[in-house]
Structures are given as C-alpha cells and as structure tokens.
Amino acid sequence: MSLPVLFITVKDLMILHSSNSYEAMRRLHHTIRECLTSERNRVKGRIKTYLTIKEYCDFQDLNMEEVLSFLKRHGT
C-alpha cells in the first residue's frame, strides 16, 4: 500500500523551522522546488509548483515519520 502524496506548505515550514517570517520560508520553499526541478524544465523556465513532504524530507535529510508526527502535534 502506497502512502498518499502530501504537500508541504510555507506555513508548515514556518512551524518546522520555528520561524515567524513567512517571506523567509516562502523563499526556502521556492529554493527547494527550484533545486528539485528537472534540467529540462529549468531550461524552459519552469519550476515545480508543489513540494511534497517526502521531497522536503529527502532534500533536508530528515525522517519523514518524525516530520509528519511533529506537524500533527502542532495542528497542521
């Protein structure tokens, strides 16, 4: 059984990073999406629109279960 695809939002990043800066976390979200965009799409000027929790955890080298648990405890 595969896990559902869950997306991580800028507000989720604010919680995970204990940040009050929406703008800083928006830039982080954008930077990660940009890094994960394929070279082919980058040449066309496109970047990923969404970021999944799995992609975020893989990029930041975090345990996905711990991140999900943390977000559940903090109301998202």
pLDDT one-digit tens code per residue, 3-22: 678 999 999 999 999 999 99
Q: 17 in a domain, yes or no? A: yes
Please state, in angstroms and as integers, the Cα–Cα distance from residue 53 to each residue in 5, 10, 45, following that order: 8, 12, 24
- Tell me if 34 sits within 8 A of 49, measured CB to CB: no
Model confidence, pTM: 0.85
Q: 28 in a domain, yes or no? A: yes
How many domains does the chain divide into? 1
Domain span at residue 43 reads 10-73
Q: 61 in a domain, yes or no? A: yes
Q: 26 in a domain, yes or no? A: yes
% pLDDT > 70, the chain: 92
